[in-house]
Structure 1
Amino acid sequence: MDVDTHTVAITMGDPAGIGAEIIAKGYPKLLADDRVRPVVIGDAAVLRAAIENCGLAGERRVVAVDSVDEAVTDADAIPVLDLANVDPESLEYGVVREAYGQASLEYVERAIELAREGSIDAITTAPINKQATKRAGSEYAGHTGMLADYTGTESYSMMLIEGDLRVTHVSTHVPLREACDLVTTDSVLETIRVTDDALVELGVDEPTIGVAGLNPHASDGGVLGETEAREIEPAVVAAREEGIDARGPESPDTVYVAAARGAYDCVVSMYHDQGHIPIKMLGFSGGGDGSEGDGDGENGESNTNADATVSGVNVTVGLPILRTSVDHGTAFDIAGEGIASERSLLQAVSVATDMAARRGAR
């Protein structure tokens, strides 16, 4: 029986980071799934340098193409839609440069264009560096806001996946004081809705969603705050009236444990660290630094990518196009050494392929 093939564009990320390395190491493994046709969007010269750094010169080669239609999948040949926007003679790893930020933005922009016109079925992003993209003039805190703006999406969220634990967020890259103010009935309800839709697209039948509180012990009946009763509980009630199996607000210090044990298919988190910490406790369990990794596939400092157990996937839910990402940053501390782990990339492409297959079957 013929298998439907889905084209997943992999953006290379910041040229000074590990994006090209994890692509170089992981590409042949992606082809084990005959449903996926992976095509890289980036700079061919940067990818060739990464192949050298990984000691794979005799096993991999780069094939620069001008269009997705020209890309042919082969275990030893990586097709790259070559934007040729990096000077290979001056390529330097582990540094923040405006030119590198601009290059990484151009990769994502091209991927969005291709997705919107239907030339690709999904996007998987390697990490960018927020400092570099800011120097390049970007107003976005990361991939997520950029993708939402470019697709005209108002209701969206970041979903992180690690094993059986999934989390989404009411807010992400904002200061904590501001994040507290963003916990409103409308914002929580919209996050519950896009979470429910995404879980169905991920193949979860009749999803159950746990909703975390903002305050310790979910305010303990009003003793430790009013946000739960005033904003979060009404959102949960409204969601249930719409037929969504949402429960909460639950105590933030126990709801993630319950979800990891199967009580919930996803936890709606109220802010960035509330959802990221439990995911990274699981995904970065193999040791290493990991303190600077970012679930949006961004940031520039240390990550645990050198350890083979680094894992996790980020999905931007609520978009009209499919996008997944690695769950780590650019790992500037090890970039160019050829030791970065490709595991998160493999998982991210797999999730993108699964979602593309389900969306295509509808």
Structure 2
Amino acid sequence: MGDPGGVGAEVIVKAYERLRGNSRPIVIGDASVITDAIEVCDVSLSVEAVDSVADATFEQERVPVLDLDAIDELVYGEVREGYGSASLMYIERAIELATDGDIDAITTAPINKQATKLAGSEYAGHTGMLADYTDTKNYSMMLVEDELRVTHVSTHVSLRKACDLVTTENVLETIRLTNTALRDLGVESPSVGVAGLNPHASDGGLLGDDDDAEIKPAVEQAREEGIDATGPESPDTVYVRAARGEFDCVVSMYHDQGHIPIKMLGFAGGSAVSGVNVTIGLPIIRTSVDHGTAFDIAGQGVASEQSLIDAVNVAADMASRH
């Protein structure tokens, strides 16, 4: 359900009827928050509070909620330690259910990193927590927006540190994870474009040696392993080429390099945000919305549910392939 003070519950209830087509969604969170969101969004639903997944009936117009009863008071748009604790509790239960096989996939609504930090979490977001709880060493983030997919060698670190993380080993592992994830998404013969680190992929050494020293050997090794990888490609054009169909995914070297083109597509022209975040490399399936808690509009019932719909559909599609 995400942070109780954000838009997570609202997008869930607005999307719920459209999610039932290819999955049986159950909410892990607080029944009282979902009930309030139903009133805020004025949708014809009711809540079915359950103690276990097995108890859910999945009846039409009833939202099954695995009710953890984690908060005492609901106030929208505020950073609260208690809401951070609740968010972490929801995630922990979801991971337990997925690893035990009680659910086929997880889709996460947004959490607030300030709130989870107040609650004592050392994680910058969901991803590190999911990796640690599932004993996963090698993992990455894949963002999906329309025809463009990107993965990342690093995400929530400083730019200075991100450059240090561009090593042959890290780039190669991200290419491998990307190739596997694309197959899980139904791409039979994946083509992976690999972005350079420096402008123009170092322009033959004129703008640095990182691309030839670290990225090029990773691409060559991936090709020896049978992966259709190309690069390092100039990062200012590779995303356009991918969006036009030349590559099924682009391996980005750091957070903003991959996020900016995705966000441009998602927000261009004031359109509803519809991007999907997929954590690849985990032993369980996890997707997420590609937006934050939106505290500025929480409680108004105006948040777009499209990203959640897309995220659940991707999760259901991946689950069906397993």
* Shared fold, TM over 0.5: yes
CA–CA separation in structure 1 for the residues paired with 2:41 and 2:25: 20
Q: How does 1:1-362 map to 2 (within 5 A)?
A: 12-33=1-22, 36-56=23-43, 59-87=44-72, 90-287=73-270, 309-359=272-322
CA–CA separation in structure 1 for the residues paired with 2:100 and 2:154: 29
Asked whether the 8 Å contact 1:97–1:135 carries over to 2, the reply is yes
1:152 positional shift: 0.5
1:74 positional shift: 2.8
1:91 positional shift: 1.3
Q: How many residues align?
A: 322
CA–CA separation in structure 2 for the residues paired with 1:286 and 1:122: 32
Asked whether the 8 Å contact 1:158–1:315 carries over to 2, the reply is yes
Partner secondary structure for residue 80 of structure 1: strand
1:76 positional shift: 1.0
Asked whether the 8 Å contact 1:326–1:348 carries over to 2, the reply is yes
Q: Which amino acid aligns with 2:18?
A: K
1:72 positional shift: 1.8
1:197-243: CA deviation from partner (whole Å, max 9, x where unpaired): 00000000110000000010000001001110110000000100111
1:16 positional shift: 0.5
1:33-91: CA deviation from partner (whole Å, max 9, x where unpaired): 3xx110100000011111111122xx11011000001112233100000000011xx31
Partner secondary structure for residue 123 of structure 2: coil
CA–CA separation in structure 2 for the residues paired with 1:345 and 1:61: 19
CA–CA separation in structure 1 for the residues paired with 2:88 and 2:70: 11
1:227-267: CA deviation from partner (whole Å, max 9, x where unpaired): 10110000000100111111000000000000000000000
Q: Which amino acid aligns with 1:310?
A: V
CA–CA separation in structure 1 for the residues paired with 2:57 and 2:102: 14
CA–CA separation in structure 2 for the residues paired with 1:55 and 1:154: 44
CA–CA separation in structure 2 for the residues paired with 1:70 and 1:265: 40
Structure 2: unaligned runs, 5 residues or longer: none
Asked whether the 8 Å contact 1:285–1:310 carries over to 2, the reply is no
CA–CA separation in structure 1 for the residues paired with 2:113 and 2:60: 32
Q: Which amino acid aligns with 1:39?
A: I
1:141 positional shift: 0.5
TM-score of the two chains, using structure 1 as the length reference: 0.88
CA–CA separation in structure 2 for the residues paired with 1:241 and 1:32: 42
CA–CA separation in structure 2 for the residues paired with 1:157 and 1:310: 22
TM-score of the two chains, using structure 2 as the length reference: 0.99
Partner secondary structure for residue 236 of structure 2: helix
Asked whether the 8 Å contact 1:100–1:132 carries over to 2, the reply is yes
Q: Which amino acid aligns with 2:77?
A: G
CA–CA separation in structure 2 for the residues paired with 1:250 and 1:74: 51
Partner secondary structure for residue 166 of structure 2: coil
1:310 positional shift: 1.6
CA–CA separation in structure 1 for the residues paired with 2:165 and 2:310: 31
Partner secondary structure for residue 160 of structure 2: helix
Asked whether the 8 Å contact 1:98–1:136 carries over to 2, the reply is yes
1:286 positional shift: 3.7
CA–CA separation in structure 2 for the residues paired with 1:175 and 1:129: 19
Q: Which amino acid aligns with 1:26?
A: A
Structure 1: unaligned runs, 5 residues or longer: 1-11, 288-306
Identity of aligned residues (%): 71
Moved over 3 A (4+): none
